[in-house]
Amino acid sequence: MTSVNNPLPRQEISGPATARHSSRLAGRLDAAADKSCSHRAAILAGLAGGVSHIEGMLESEDVLAALRAVEALGARVERTGPGQWTIEGGKWRDPDEPLDMGNSGTAARLLLGAASRFSLTAVFVGDASLSRRPMERVLAPLKAMGAMTGAAQGGRLPVRLTGGNLIAIDYTPPVASAQVKSAVMFAALGARGQTVVREPVPTRNHTENMLPLFGGNVSVEADPAGHVITVPGGQSLTACDLAIPGDPSSAAFAVAAGLIAPESELTVAGVMTNPARFGLYDVLKEMGAHLEFTPAGSRCGETLCDITVRTSQLKGVDVTALRAPSMIDEYPILAVLAAFAEGETRMRGLGELRAKESDRLSSTAALLDANGVKVEIEGDDLIVTGVGLAGVPGGGRVETRDDHRLAMAGLVLGLGAQAPVSVDETAMIATSYPGFFDDFSAIGANID
């Protein structure tokens, strides 16, 4: 048995890497566990009375940061086997030290919300990338509920939070963000009164879906004007056993590799099909991708499918801004695929990408530019001129800017490009997809 503070048995990979043209990628991978669901399972189990057993947890750096914080806040957290965690939750207390959120915006924002329902004081810190990202978007509603917060200039980490005695609010987040919604929902569980969150543009709904599994009370009204989520206050949660579904965002990298590497056919198994996460796959179908979705049961109320992909000549498309929340993490890899498509792809309404692990609008454009692909940013839109399956020059060095998805997207580009593509750092890939190199080696990708 391993406590969350002991290192997990894993080969550390760091430093630059180079991907070379590869063909005949083949095989069957199990999708990596979903990062969003793993975060929510760790936090909800940490809040719930009794012992929860979580199977298939994503053991990535981001999720480990959340698990360590939940333990430091008073839960008993134990790793009982690969991906298997036992968490005994309850009332949270002052942690002895600052809570290190590492690179994880989700851990930071969701835990700020969850911790604020208790009478405790905690300091949240993060790495260089996370310390540049906006926290005011969660601090504002938490302050409106009565939490006291002190943040570095511009509402950044480090943040000092004192919670307790919260009152319910009726809140419409100014940005479409599942993290903001979830932070308010977690805080609402301990507030006086009934909290309402109004989402004009619905975002991923894993908090809404998972809360009832822990005995939580939440109602969601969906109408054309958006979603209205209501959470009564004064709730206590009870432990449950659950299994984490596969991550459509991580699966996207192997699917993309299968689309662009010649003569490939591969399957990624157990991918969650939640429509709030499946936007990329809908767009890929519109682009002419050979994708087959085979139903593969369900996990913790989410349906799963196996995705089989074959090399495909894609065509450029216009991706509306309304799709953005259902594929917000997939734009770097979609932009890479757009380079291998025929014709122009315009991805609209990507302002939120500026607030990710890097400014993903500019870092994605720079990734393509460094590899001979014509790309423009017009306002909040990204426009890529595709040159067809065999036409992407490659040969560039990608600046990853502490961003895991940039690193993985750059390496996938190299698998289909004419000349090798290198990325300047790979250590942060472990924040979301620690098995990336093993999985890509298993399907025959030439990366070293």
Positions marked catalytic: 329
On whether 329 is known to bind a ligand per the annotation, the reply is yes
By CB under 6 A, residue 42 contacts ligand S3P: no
> What's the min distance (Å) between Cβ of 272 and ligand S3P?
12
- Chosen residue from 73, 283, 305, 328 binding ligand S3P by CB under 6 A: 328
Stretch that binds ligand S3P, among 78-86, 116-124, 174-182, 238-246 (CB under 6 A): 174-182
On whether 40 is known to bind a ligand per the annotation, the reply is yes
Is 179 or 400 the residue whose CB approaches ligand S3P more closely? Answer: 179
> What's the min distance (Å) between Cβ of 174 and ligand S3P?
12
**Cα 391 to Cα 371: distance, rounded to the nearest angstrom:** 11
> What's the min distance (Å) between Cβ of 413 and ligand S3P?
21
Which parts of 196-225 interact with ligand S3P (CB under 6 A)?
203-204
Is 58 or 196 the residue whose CB approaches ligand S3P more closely? Answer: 58
In 10 A of CB 200, how many CB atoms? 10
On whether 441 is known to bind a ligand per the annotation, the reply is no
By CB under 6 A, residue 329 contacts ligand S3P: yes
Q: Of all residues in this chain, which one has the CB nearest to ligand S3P in the complex?
A: 36
Q: How far from 359 is each of 62, 363, 365, 400, 402, CA to CA, in Å?
A: 19, 6, 10, 11, 10
**Cα 307 to Cα 292: distance, rounded to the nearest angstrom:** 6
Is 35 or 68 the residue whose CB approaches ligand S3P more closely? Answer: 35
By CB under 6 A, residue 363 contacts ligand S3P: no
Stretch that binds ligand S3P, among 119-127, 156-164, 172-180, 337-345 (CB under 6 A): 172-180
> What's the min distance (Å) between Cβ of 329 and ligand S3P?
5
Which parts of 225-284 interact with ligand S3P (CB under 6 A)?
none
The answer to whether 365 and 382 are in contact (CB under 8 A) is: yes
> What's the min distance (Å) between Cβ of 138 and ligand S3P?
9
On whether 179 is known to bind a ligand per the annotation, the reply is yes
By CB under 6 A, residue 104 contacts ligand S3P: no
By CB under 6 A, residue 358 contacts ligand S3P: no
On whether 160 is known to bind a ligand per the annotation, the reply is no
> What's the min distance (Å) between Cβ of 274 and ligand S3P?
12
By CB under 6 A, residue 178 contacts ligand S3P: yes
By CB under 6 A, residue 60 contacts ligand S3P: no
> What's the min distance (Å) between Cβ of 296 and ligand S3P?
22
Stretch that binds ligand S3P, among 23-31, 175-183, 340-348, 434-442 (CB under 6 A): 175-183
On whether 156 is known to bind a ligand per the annotation, the reply is no
- Chosen residue from 177, 326, 400, 431 binding ligand S3P by CB under 6 A: 177
Residues that bind ligand S3P (CB under 6 A): 36, 39, 106, 177-179, 182, 203-204, 328-329, 352
Annotated binding site: 35-36, 40, 105, 133, 177, 179, 329, 356, 360, 405
